[in-house]
């Protein structure tokens, strides 16, 4: 057996920075495949009922990334239950594993748990070979266990980082979402425009800003009440969200005013969107005024917004 040719495996080589669990898993599998060559090395995940192969060395056992096995039918489950040792150079010498023909063809194996900091099971480091050998696997148990502990530490750092990002995104979303319409609020709008300004300076892609202001809001609030006014605003928000294409940024800028930023959008497509908005608002019996201005190298996007806003007010005044 190839792994019987050395008693211990070399020290860990100098590795590139391992920024996440995936990188670390690939590095560990690659290292073991080179210095302690079994037919298979893998990092697996236990999802509560199945074992999923996440990282897999090239192997003659035809096991591929993403392959799934029922957990209770795996050798790893026997190890986690304490029925078998984590490594064995000869499976036939392990009573819990030698009596079952499910693992016929496996001579030596490695199955070391990868745990979260709280002790819960994430998955395992797995190794398997059809040929039995001497005690080289047992001789390297301490190193294999250390690798799994390091993977568990990196895993938890990844989890914490992902949670922090998720919380930050949620907090930002909450802070930038208008509670009445579910659209972006003015704070989010300003942030998007700032980011798009930088991009426009780099690439000068075509784009436009559309400003929509609802007509007659004061009359609706005074005569029908603020609940009716809120429903009117919500109706307008739904129309804007439905008409705008996926790349558009739709925002309630405040009160009865809305904005649509259309980065990387040809003028003809903006013309079509304005026509669609006008038709949709008429069909929904929502009266509004619309202004539009195109991106220009001669003014900032904030100034483009001002131009669209001025155009909207000209439209509003033309109705009187």
pLDDT tens-place string over residues 255-272: 999 999 998 888 899 999
Classify residue 176: in a domain, yes or no.
no
Q: Are residues 134 and 94 in the same domain?
A: yes
Q: Are residues 159 and 60 in the same domain?
A: yes
Q: pLDDT by residue (tens digit) across 146-171?
A: 999 999 998 888 888 877 865 675 56
pLDDT grade for 3, boundaries at 50, 70 and 90:
very low
Report the distance separating Cα 210 and Cα 236, nearest Å: 14
* pLDDT for residue 92: 87
Report the distance separating Cα 132 and Cα 1, nearest Å: 6
Classify residue 250: in a domain, yes or no.
yes
* pLDDT for residue 198: 82
Q: Are residues 281 and 250 in the same domain?
A: yes
Number of domains in the chain: 2
Report the distance separating Cα 3 and Cα 134, nearest Å: 8
Classify residue 227: in a domain, yes or no.
yes
Report the distance separating Cα 25 and Cα 284, nearest Å: 56
* pLDDT for residue 257: 96
Higher-confidence position of 54 and 312:
312
Classify residue 267: in a domain, yes or no.
yes
* pLDDT for residue 4: 45
Q: pLDDT by residue (tens digit) across 271-287?
A: 999 999 999 999 999 99
Quick one: CA torsion of 105, 110, 111, 113, rounded to 10 degrees?
A: -170
Backbone φ, ψ for residue 196 (5° rounding): -70, -30
Predicted TM-score (pTM) above 0.75: no
Q: Are residues 196 and 156 in the same domain?
A: no
- Bridge partners, 42 (sequence order): 56, 126
Domain boundary at 105, 133, 168, which? Answer: 168
Domain boundary at 168, 198, 218, which? Answer: 168
Domain of 304, in residue numbers: 186-317
Q: Are residues 24 and 73 in the same domain?
A: yes
- Bridge partners, 263 (sequence order): 207
For 280, residues 6+ apart whose C-beta sits below 8 A from its C-beta are 239, 242, 243
CATH number at residue 75: 3.30.450.40
**Longest alpha-carbon distance in the chain:** 95
Which tokens in the block code for residue 236? Answer: 């307008």
Classify residue 180: in a domain, yes or no.
no
304 has pLDDT over 60:
yes
* pLDDT for residue 250: 93
Backbone φ, ψ for residue 206 (5° rounding): -65, 155
Which tokens in the block code for residue 128? Answer: 């398997």
Q: Are residues 63 and 132 in the same domain?
A: yes
Provide the edge-to-edge strand list for the sheet that holds 68-70.
68-70, 50-56, 40-46, 121-129, 108-115, 87-88
Quick one: CA torsion of 228, 232, 237, 243, rounded to 10 degrees?
A: 150
Which tokens in the block code for residue 99? Answer: 């009596």
Q: Are residues 149 and 107 in the same domain?
A: yes
Q: Are residues 19 and 155 in the same domain?
A: yes
Helix spans in 36-74 (H): none
Q: Are residues 11 and 130 in the same domain?
A: yes
pLDDT grade for 315, boundaries at 50, 70 and 90:
very high
* pLDDT for residue 1: 44
For residue 225, give the 3-state DSSP assignment: coil
Classify residue 177: in a domain, yes or no.
no
Q: Are residues 145 and 238 in the same domain?
A: no
CATH number at residue 280: 3.30.70.270
Q: Are residues 231 and 260 in the same domain?
A: yes
Percent of the chain with pLDDT over 70: 90
Please compute the mean of the pLDDT values over residues 200-214 and round it to a whole number: 84
Report the distance separating Cα 301 and Cα 318, nearest Å: 26
Q: pLDDT by residue (tens digit) across 98-118?
A: 877 788 888 999 999 999 889
Q: pLDDT by residue (tens digit) across 113-157?
A: 999 889 989 999 999 999 887 788 898 899 999 999 999 998 888
Q: Are residues 135 and 249 in the same domain?
A: no
Domain boundary at 168, 198, 232, which? Answer: 168
67 has pLDDT over 90:
no
């Amino acid at each position: 057996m190839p792994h019987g040719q050395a008693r211990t495996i070399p020290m860990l080589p100098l590795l590139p920075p391992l920024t996440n669990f995936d990188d670390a898993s690939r590095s560990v599998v690659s290292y073991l495949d080179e210095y302690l060559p079994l037919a298979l090395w893998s990092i697996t995940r236990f999802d509560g009922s199945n074992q999923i192969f996440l990282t897999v060395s090239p192997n003659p056992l035809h096991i591929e990334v993403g392959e799934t096995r029922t957990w209770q039918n795996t050798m790893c489950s026997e190890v986690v239950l304490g029925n078998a040792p984590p490594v064995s150079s000869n499976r036939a010498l392990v009573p819990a594993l030698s009596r079952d023909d499910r693992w016929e063809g496996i001579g030596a194996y490695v199955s070391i748990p990868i745990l979260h900091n709280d002790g819960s099971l994430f998955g395992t480091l797995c190794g398997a070979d059809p040929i039995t050998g001497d005690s080289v696997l047992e001789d390297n148990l301490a190193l294999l266990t250390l690798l799994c502990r390091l993977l568990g530490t990196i895993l938890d750092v990844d989890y914490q980082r992902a949670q922090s990002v998720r919380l930050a995104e949620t907090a930002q979303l909450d802070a930038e979402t208008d509670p009445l319409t579910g659209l972006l609020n003015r704070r989010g709008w300003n942030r998007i425009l700032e980011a798009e300004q930088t991009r426009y300076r780099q690439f000068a892609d075509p784009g436009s800003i559309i400003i929509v202001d609802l007509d007659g809001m004061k009359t609706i609030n005074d005569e029908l009440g603020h609940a009716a006014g809120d429903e009117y605003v919500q109706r307008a928000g739904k129309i804007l969200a439905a008409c705008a294409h996926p790349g558009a940024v739709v925002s309630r800028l405040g009160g009865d005013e809305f904005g649509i930023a259309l980065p990387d959008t040809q003028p003809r497509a903006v013309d079509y969107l304005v026509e669609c908005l006008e038709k949709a608002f008429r069909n929904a019996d929502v009266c509004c005024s619309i202004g539009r201005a195109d991106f220009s190298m001669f003014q900032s996007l904030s100034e483009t917004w001002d131009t669209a806003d001025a155009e909207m007010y000209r439209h509003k005044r033309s109705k009187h």
